[in-house]
Structure 1
Amino acid sequence: MEIGLPQAAAGQATQMLGRLHEYVAHETPTGDSDALNAFADRLVARYGELGATARRVPSATGDHVVANLPGRGPRADDEPVLFLGHHDTVWPVGQLAGPMSWREQDGIVHGPGVFDMKGGLVVLETALELVAELGLDHRPVRIVVVADEEVGSPTARELVIAESAGVVASLGLEPPHPNGDLKTARRGSSRVRIEITGREAHAALDPGTGISAIDELLDQLITVRSLVATYDEVLCNVGTISGGGRTNVVPGIASAELGFRFVDPETERAVLDAVAGLEPVRDGAQVRVSVLSNRPAWQPSGSGGDLLAKIVTAGRSVGQQVGGRPAAGAADTNVTGSLGVPSLDGFGPRGKGAHATHEQIIAAALPERAALVAAVITTI
């Protein structure tokens, strides 16, 4: 009897857990170029084992990885399907020695990066392995794994744009919705830094000659909050504030970093333009606004619906019911989706706790997702 994808994937469950454990044990905080580059070498070697041509793409804060796997059979010359992932995590080195140590309990796997998103990397590798082992025909596969996704992919954006040219679809390996549904659209996400330059002075002897950068920053943040309040679906989070040094010195510098989320590109442009045009409240103060990273709003489209229908069919072929709906969080599929490339995200394993100390996945979701991704590779 010929073995099918679900059975073959189930036979890989233990191996998948072992590889995920290795990947989680190799901690890869965003910006730690040595750790990220060493992990990139792992990926390049692994994709090479799977028959792909892989390379590191240099970046000062950590190298990205691009791999191309040839197609097989009658579809070998078709347009490639693109998979997007990342190997950086939000966790600093040392989490494995604390409360986030790797552990498996009652079918749940805990550890930094298991959910976001080293589980997704293992899913794709296993899917490619299954396709090869079963000798299934498929179109070419292109893979881009970036090193700075968790801070908005500032160095990887142009790479993602370039590698999405000519692909039939872009599929993200990020976590799915809690019930396993795929993500059919995402809010736009921008990180903005507001920097204030004032003038230092003695806070008691000569306060009048000073210009408080902190006071100016507070007034600018109130202005931003008032601006955001005029829109129904804009989110704004002031993530960091810094400035000053001593209570007896009028502060001469201050800054804040803000995170914005947008549903549609029109609102995104209007808000970002307004923030970029902030004017000083105080005579002599200087306001500088810079966009640290930007992922444009990705809205549902007809091509996305057609793609989801194909994925639903692929899911049925391996006994899975697949659904899809928009998501609030942003990822690199924002870029491809906003360019009009048919895109879906959320092909990683089910779980919860992204960016939280209780980060976890359901162990059984690893082979389940691998079977789905293998079916997608061989059918779309």
Structure 2
Amino acid sequence: MAQSVADRIREQLDEQALVAELTTLIELESPSHDLASSAEIAGLLAAAWTTLGEARIEPSSAGSHLIVDVPSVASSETSPVLLLGHSDTVWPIGTLVGSVPFSVADGVLRGPGAYDMKSGLVVMLAAVRALAALDLPRPPIRVLIAADEEVGSGSATALVREAAAGVQAVFGFESPHPDGALKVGRLGSTRVKLKVVGRESHAALDPDGGVSAIEELVDQLLVLRTEVARVSAARPGEVLVNVGGVSGGGRTNVVPGAAEALIGFRFASAAAEADVMAVLDGLAPVRPGAVIELEVLSSRPAWAASSADQALLARVGELAGLEVPGRPAAGAADTNTTGSLGIPTLDGFGPRGGGAHAVSEHVLLASLLDRIVLLGTVLTGLA
């Protein structure tokens, strides 16, 4: 009996070598906006991908993005498949010797960025490398590894749109759902800075001469909470909000002249986003002399799963000869952009594990191998 494609791909995989590859990526700590580490990891990945296709690094003010074009090996002309990943993590340099040390034991690999999403980078590279080694058919493959995904892809989004032009499908390499299901649809994500400018004065000698930016900010957050609750009541389940940071002032004897809040919103629909943004745009000062400034730090559109996404999910299961479940996810990623454009998109091709953005971050090594086999099988099928 002839070997299946999946079995042939699995035979190409060396778990120890894959663990070593992932270990190298994890030990090269690469937090968002660290330009030196971003350039280093982009260079490392570019060197690996150059053996398979044409790799180029796109420097930006946020870091070094990597774009790769791998030529097809197919009997007929096919459209490209886009593989989306990111090289930045939420962890600062020094985490490895601090709260999230690296370890491998009992089939579990732990370390900062292991799950989100350096293991996903290994999956995409290893799968394409296996297809090349076996000389199996593959469609043209585009790879985009963003440098600032964890902070909203402010500089990468234009590259994502450009790379997605003319592709037949987009696969994202974020983690799957805990049970391994792929992600089909995502909430939109908008991050804003709400800043208040007041007027400083001596808190005892001239209390009325000042305008407290902190008190004004507190009042504005109360207004925002009330108005967002109103939108949520009209659109149940479509809005999430988190005030993730508040800062301002500095001395108890000075009326504070500046304060700000960092706020994250999640939206299930464009209409919910529009309603909440209208609330933000309509905020007005409570105190005479206070000034409100609103800055949108990043914005990803909601991706509602389409019939094309569902058809791609079914096709993946058919090609893999497996039941491949998929459902929407709360987190946002660069697949929000492609999915919202109507391009058939699936995310969650990274391996199973857990602890994203937490000290318990880990990857299941058996799943790492399974995901490589799944991706390789699907890619050759799409050729």
Taking structure 2 as the reference length, what is the TM-score of the superposition? 0.96
Q: Is residue 240 from structure 1 mapped to residue 245 from structure 2 by the alignment? A: yes
Aligned twin of 1:359: 361
Q: Does residue 30 in structure 1 map to residue 32 in structure 2?
A: yes
**Aligned-residue CA RMSD in angstroms?**
1.2
Structure 2: where are the runs of 5+ without partners? Answer: none
- How far apart are the structure 2 equivalents of 1:32 and 1:313? 42
User: Offset at 1:4?
Assistant: 3.6
- What's the CA shift for 1:3? 6.6
SS in 2 for 1:331: coil
CA distance in 2, matches of 1:338, 1:190: 15
Match of 1:297 among 292, 298, 302: 302
Equivalent position SS for 1:29: coil
Distance 2:268 2:74 in 1: 41
Deviation at 1:107, TM superposition (A): 1.0
- Equivalent position of 1:267 in the other structure: 272
Query: 2:178 aligns to what?
Result: 178
The alpha-carbon deviation at position 7 of structure 1 amounts to 4.9
Is 1:65 paired with 2:70?
Answer: no
Write out per-residue CA displacement over residues 91-143 of structure 1, whole angstroms, 9 at most, x where no aligned residue: 11111113422111111111111100000000011100111111111210000
- Give, as a single letter, the amino acid of the residue that structure 1 aligns with 2:90: V
> Residues of 1 paired with 2:169 and 2:356: CA distance?
25
Alignment equivalent of 1:308, drawn from 285, 310, 313:
313
Q: Distance in 1 between matches of 2:177 and 2:255?
A: 48
Q: How far is 1:56 from its partner?
A: 0.7
The one of 37, 41, 44 equivalent to 2:43 is 41
Deviation at 1:2, TM superposition (A): 4.5
Q: How far off is 1:16 after superposition? A: 1.0
CA distance in 2, matches of 1:5, 1:129: 14
- Alignment-derived partner of residue 8 in structure 1: 9
The aligned residue for residue 329 of structure 1 is: 331
User: Paired residue for 2:198?
Assistant: 198
User: Is the counterpart of residue 188 in structure 1 residue 176 in structure 2?
Assistant: no
1:32-69 Cα offsets, whole Å, 9 max, x none, are: 000010100011111101x2111011211211011010
Correspondence list, 1:214-225, <5 A: 214-225=214-225
- Preserved contact between residue 178 and residue 351 of structure 1 (Cα < 8 Å): yes
Letter in 1 for 2:344: P
Change (3 A) 1:6 1:361: farther
Name the aligned partner's letter for residue 345 of structure 1.
Answer: D
Q: Determine the C-alpha separation between the residues in 2 that align with 1:197 and 1:57.
A: 37
**Residue aligned with 1:240, SS:** strand
8 Å CA contact 1:276–1:290 kept in 2: the answer is no
Contact preservation (8 Å) 1:31, 1:62: yes
2-structure distance, mates of 1:108, 1:348: 15
CA contact (8 A) 1:185 1:327 kept: yes
Q: CA offsets per residue over residues 179-205 of structure 1, 9 Å max, x none?
A: 100000000001000010011111111
Matching residue's letter, 1:57: E
Runs of 4+ in structure 1 deviating by more than 4 angstroms, as ranges, are none
CA shift in 2, pair 1:171/1:362, >3 Å: same
- SS for the counterpart of 2:104 is strand
Identity value in percent? 46
Which amino acid in 2 is paired with 1:272? M
- Structure 1 Cα separation of the partners of residues 44 and 4 of structure 2: 30
What is the CA distance between 1:9 and its match in structure 2?
2.4
1:286 is aligned to: 291
TM-superposed deviation, 1:315: 2.2
Report what 2:346 is aligned to: 344
Report the TM-score, using the length of structure 1 for normalisation.
Answer: 0.96
Q: Which residue is equivalent to 1:140?
A: 140
Tell me the distance in 1 between the aligned counterparts of 2:291 and 2:7. 61
**Structure 1 residue aligned with 2:89:** 89
| Contact 1:5-1:130 at 8 Å conserved across structures | no
Which residue of 1 is the match for residue 53 of structure 2?
52
Q: Aligned letter for 2:324? A: V
| One-letter identity of the residue aligned with 1:197 | V
**Structure 1 residue ranges without an equivalent (≥5):** none
Task: Tell me what 1:378 maps to.
Answer: 380
Task: Specify the alignment match of 1:160 in structure 2.
Answer: 160
Secondary structure of residue in 1 paired with 2:63: coil
- C-alpha separation in 2, matches of 1:132 and 1:379: 14
Counterpart CA distance in 2 for 1:198 and 1:99 is 39
Q: How far, CA to CA, are the matches of 1:34 and 1:276 in structure 2?
A: 37
SS at match of 1:9: helix
Q: Distance in 1 between matches of 2:181 and 2:349?
A: 9
Q: Which amino acid aligns with 1:149?
A: E
What is the aligned residue count? 375
Task: Work out the CA distance in 2 between the residues paired with 1:301 and 1:248.
Answer: 57
